[in-house]
Chains A and B, each alone.
Chain A
Amino acid sequence: MARVLVGVKRVIDYAVKIRVKPDKSGVVTEGVKHSMNPFDEIAVEEAVRMKEKKLAAEIIAVSCGPAQSQETLRTALAMGVDKAIHVEVTGKDLETLQPIHISKILAKLAQDEKADLVIVGKQAIDDDCNQTAQMTAALLDWPQGTFASKIEQSDGSLTIVREIDGGLETVKVKTPAVISADLRLNEPRYATLPNIMKAKKKPLKKVTPKDLGVEIKSHYDVVSVEDPPVRQAGSVLPDVDSLVAKLKEGGFV
């Protein structure tokens, strides 16, 4: 039976209206509601379902971030994960934390914890990078199934249906492998109240990137963060001929 490592990220809640800081260095996070990245919830749900179908033996959730990341891990524990690892990153390091670092951390933990499967959300809703799963697989030299909307297990291999631009692609990979969860993979359960209370007793270990031998060195600088331009008003045209004329004028035709 598989040992599954699930990566979860604490992000600004999807329902919050994002505001850019006046100094343009980033977005306002102070006092703003945060929760687990929705795609990571789907990843956790998939792992828990595997455990319920007796395809997975133990599920370990990992989150890299400040102290509050423990809240996200506790939600994962309440959903059915067995134990959690908090990789603490704070201060300046937190500001420059990037998918390449996460991938290195997940790769190291996958080896330390003898994982057979690493599942993460396809992308985080704050940076939309869509890189962690791919880089983690590359670092481990494991096969990958990204944008997974269906996963089927058979001995030593996984059949994954991927949602790609052209439609649905089915791939078969040998385990161990890395998967990234897409929206339609499943519908995450509510963490039931008894499970929220039980989650307190589940183990949560804290480590630092240094303990794992990973250096958090920034590879790029964020120059500025700005709001997208305000949408300009359109104009209503009387007929198709004026539309064609306007398009020609603008050089679009």
Chain B
Amino acid sequence: MASLVKLAKSTLRPGIRAISTSLPSASSEVPACGYAFELNDEQKEIQSLARKFTAEEIIPKAAEYDKTMEYPWPIVKKAWEVGLINNHIPSHCGGMNQGIFDGCLIAEELAYGCTGIKTAIEASGLGQTPVIIAGNKEQQKKYLGRLIDEPLVAAYCVTEPGAGSDVNGVKTRAEKKGDEWVINGQKMWITNGGVANWYFVLARTNPDPKASASKAFTGFIVERETPGVTPGRKEINMGQRCSDTRGITFEDVRVPKENVLIGEGAGFKIAMGAFDKTRPPVASGATGLAQRALDEATKYALERKAFGVPIAFHQAVAFMLADMAIGVETSRLAWMKSAWEVDQGRRNSYYASIAKALAGDVANKCASDAVQIFGGNGFNSEYPVEKLMRDAKIYQIYEGTAQIQRLIISRAIIDMAKAKA
């Protein structure tokens, strides 16, 4: 392998990462002392594969994709070939039926390389999750099987121009006409919107405004090629620029009744249930970014000299690195706990929200501190950290804003307190 030739690029990974091998296991066997903080051998290999792929395929091209903002199809295709994508698809469709924990391990590694590329890959997983948790066997075979056969991606269509956090405010409507449903409406900020082969779409099927949210919506699988589906222009965002984000217009889009997930009125629960499985990977992605910020800042701080010594030896900088490390280690533990919980078959919403909220905040702080440590160089596009800062912001917004996460957590605390009383 040209690994010897790529020796120079390896200087990105100082000993810090090589030592951080203490990680929880997803096994449901409880060892004699209780909790385990070690990956099993297969997980170590999977992590190793993801790390190698990132170092060789993602890191060298990340800056270029950020500039051109082109969807990273070559990398998505390679990841598909190697098996780093579509991991949660059930085995009856030909999938690997992997748990959320292992998926998060991969996500953190890919995010370390570039969160834009990682999001392009992960968003397909988000679109698939409703079908994985609520699809019947035929739907799963058809739509998930398709993603196994070819390097295609899916997308999750819930957000609208007028409704983000308040899913109850979704106005896209679906009306039953014979054996079909006709969807009309406007979605916005749909990741993979322009490149997906099919969408999970949430639409209001009960027009009564007083109807309870948990019964008023239905989840549909909509093929991209259906007449009436029009993705808008590619949106230019602050960061994660190569990820494809668009508005999508639905004009009299006809969807067969076979494409309804579970049944009429079940949509809200499916859409929310998906998050229990997709928030841990988002948290792990944010952790990957934070780790990258820490590694880059440490490397720079050992090279840059001021007042006679490398700046890493000035306490002001050293303490910033320490605080970044505190953030990284704790976000990692948080995503691992939340991923492990859902893999045990338990409801993990409380932990998933904690992990996502923490990791998003940590990623932003670490990226900002990394720019600070780089000083004037940090503000400049020739150095890697300004991209991290631009990429980090969305982690406090998508997949449930930082504020919504706190709402979920506080409600859970109150529920737990009431249950004890």
Contacts and interface: CB of A to CB of B under 8 A. Distances in A.
Contacts of A193: 46, 49, 82-84, 87, 96, 98
A200 B42 contact: yes
Interface residues of A, number: 29
Contacts of A200: 42
Given A15-B13, A16-B18, A192-B81, A41 B1 contact: yes
B53 A190 contact: yes
Contacts of A1: none
A16, A125, A190, most chain B CB atoms within 10 A: A190
Given A17-B15, A42-B1, A197-B96, A78 B82 contact: no
Chain B contact residues, majority secondary structure: helix
Given A193-B49, A193-B82, A193-B83, A33 B4 contact: no
B41 A194 contact: no
Interface in A157-208: 183, 187-188, 190-197, 200
B7 interface: yes
Interface string B37-77: 00001101110110011000000000000000000000000
B82 A192 contact: yes
Interface residues of B, number: 26
Interface string A106-147: 000000000000000000010000000000000000000000
Contacts of A197: 42, 96
B10 interface: yes
B7 A15 contact: yes
A41 B52 CA distance: 14
A42 B2 CA distance: 10
B211 interface: no
A17 B11 CA distance: 9
A197 B82 CA distance: 12
A87 to B, nearest CB: 19
A135 to B, nearest CB: 24
A7 interface: no
Nearest to B44: A71
A194 B96 contact: yes
B19 interface: yes
Contacts of A13: 18
A43 to B, nearest CB: 11
Nearest to B7: A14
B3 interface: yes
A198 B87 CA distance: 14
Given A191-B49, A192-B82, A193-B96, A14 B42 contact: no
A206 to B, nearest CB: 15
Contacts of B44: 71
A35 B49 CA distance: 12
A200 B45 CA distance: 11
Given A32-B18, A74-B45, A190 B82 contact: yes
A196 B96 CA distance: 11
Contacts of B53: 190
A16 B1 CA distance: 17
B1 A15 contact: no
A14 B82 contact: no
Interface of A: 13-17, 31-33, 35, 38, 41-42, 71, 74-75, 78, 125, 183, 187-188, 190-197, 200
Interface of B: 1-4, 7, 10, 13, 15, 18-19, 41-42, 44-46, 48-49, 52-53, 81-84, 87, 96, 98
7 contacts: A33-B18, A71-B44, A183-B4, A192-B49, A196-B42, A196-B83, A200-B42
Given A14-B3, A38-B4, A196-B49, 15 more contacts: A14-B4, A15-B7, A16-B18, A32-B18, A42-B1, A71-B41, A74-B41, A190-B52, A190-B53, A193-B83, A193-B84, A193-B96, A193-B98, A196-B46, A197-B96
| 10 closest A-B pairs by CB | A193-B83, A15-B10, A192-B83, A33-B18, A188-B1, A190-B82, A38-B3, A196-B45, A192-B82, A194-B83
